[in-house]
Amino acid sequence: MLLRLESRRAPSVLLTWLTPVMAIAATLVTGAIIFAAMGHAPGQALYTFFILPINSGYGFTELLVKATPLALIALGLAIGFRSSVWNIGAEGQLTLGAVFGGGVAIFTHGSESIFILPLMMLAGVVGGMLWGAIPAYLKTRFNANEILVSLMLTYVATLALSALVHGPWKDPGGYNFPESVLFGDAALLPILVEGTRLHLGSLIALLLLVAGWFVLARTLLGFQVRVVGMAPMAASYAGFQQKRMVWIALLVSGALAGLAGVFEIAGPIGQLLPVVSPGYGFTAIIVAFLGRLHPLGILIAALILALSYLGGETAQIEMRLPQGITGVFQGMILFYLLASDVLIRYRLRLLAPAAESRS
């Protein structure tokens, strides 16, 4: 008996949604085996990793705080990925959003105006869009590869932030250390639950996910996004402009990443630092695909990825597991997802040896 992969006539809709669940289940089983091999009780280790971090009200709000930038960025990326526009530079767009928003906070420092926060968000969106517009222009004008351009611009953005925080935007009273002043209250997002770090940005992100779902599922634009992505030729016959799609995808994903950057600095961080994101822009790519490029899926995937970070920390504190365990879990989820995705387009067939001998 042999196994053979046979291509399906149409991708299986059921499996599209089932494979992420399968991937997570396989990750948990493999994780349990790894824990057992390391000499830890698997049940207790999985409990420490996945339940303990969110076992308190505070822990749960932290999960939401961590998931907010991931979900927001992934939503923007998903719109691009659906139309086959590959924005890999969300990290840079986030960083430029933080630069623009942070600039507003620094230049208005000392003022208590209620307009500061909205202005910061607007500036962050503009910053992110600006950083998305560069690859969009180069793509539509010179057909430059947006993967490379957006990725390379990430380094430009992070170095620009670093230069500002080491230089003109340094806290004047900060002993020359590279960080800005602590933002005033008017430049900080309101806290939703007293005593936690859960901020208004998380709520806005949730609303944007709903809006994103509506746009993708219920509007002509959403339809165009899908058609351009799946069948560019058909799209052009239908009069959908591919160039317009490139612009929309990069501007929207840039805007959302920039907004995520503002939420980080006006939320949990509260100032500009030389580095404001531990790679959210890249992790969000995993989130987008794990969430099937669908807003609801992205919400769930962002929570799962966020939990893997929190769990890694708890496992270090409680069980002295090495930090690498976080990466192992994230890698396994992606690996199993990609592996099981084969089943969406192909089905497994059992073959008798006789049938196989023909080839």
Give the nearer residue to another protein in terms of CB position, either 246 or 265.
265
Helix (H, G, I), strand (E, B) or coil at 3: strand
Three-state DSSP at 337 gives: helix
65 burial via Cβ count (<10 Å: 0-12, 13-18, 19+): buried
How far is the C-alpha of 118 from the C-alpha of 29, rounded, in Å? 46
Binding residue for another protein (CB under 8 A) from 125, 205, 303, 343? 303
Nearer to another protein, 135 or 258 (CB): 258
Using rule CB under 8 A, residue 284 touches another protein: no
Residues 75-94 as x/- pattern, contact with another protein by CB under 8 A: --------------------
Segment near another protein (CB under 8 A); pick from 101-109, 145-153, 270-278, 338-346: 270-278
Name which position in 184, 222, 232, 268 contacts another protein (CB under 8 A): 268
Q: Is 148 in the site for another protein (CB under 8 A)?
A: no
**H helices present in the chain, as ranges:** 13-37, 42-50, 57-82, 90-107, 116-142, 146-166, 200-218, 220-230, 232-237, 242-264, 280-290, 295-319, 324-345, 353-356
**Interface with another protein (CB under 8 A), residue from 8, 36, 44, 115:** 44
Q: Does 306 bind another protein (CB under 8 A)?
A: no
Residue 269 interacting with another protein (CB under 8 A): yes
Convert residues 185-204 into a mask of x (bound to another protein by CB under 8 A) and - (unbound): ------------x-------
Cβ 183 to another protein shortest distance, Å: 11
Task: Tell me which stretch binds another protein (CB under 8 A): 60-68, 246-254, 329-337, 351-359.
Answer: 60-68
**Rounded CA gap, 12 and 299, in Å?**
22
Q: What is the DSSP string of 160-215?
A: HHHHHHHTTTS-TTSTT-S--PPPPGGGSPPBSSTTS--BHHHHHHHHHHHHHHHH
Question: Which one of 74-82, 140-148, 203-211, 320-328 is the stretch in contact with another protein (CB under 8 A)?
Answer: 320-328
List 16, 47, 109, 345, residue binding another protein (CB under 8 A): 47
Interface with another protein includes 271 (CB under 8 A)? yes
Cα gap 149→250, rounded to integer Å: 12
Q: Which is nearer to another protein, 61 or 87 (CB)?
A: 61
Rounded Cα distance, 27 and 4, in Å: 24
CA 183 to chain centre: 26
**Residue 53 DSSP one-character state:** G
Q: How, if at all, do strands 346-351 and 2-7 pair?
A: antiparallel
Nearer to another protein, 125 or 304 (CB): 304
Q: Spell out the residues 6+ positions from residue 264 whose beta carbon is closer than 8 angstroms to its own.
A: 69, 94, 98, 276, 277, 280
What is the smallest separation between the CB atom of 153 and another protein, expressed in angstroms?
17
**278 is an interface residue for another protein by CB under 8 A:** yes
323 binds another protein (CB under 8 A): yes
For another protein, the binding residue among 28, 138, 203, 206 (CB under 8 A) is 28
Q: Does 167 bind another protein (CB under 8 A)?
A: yes
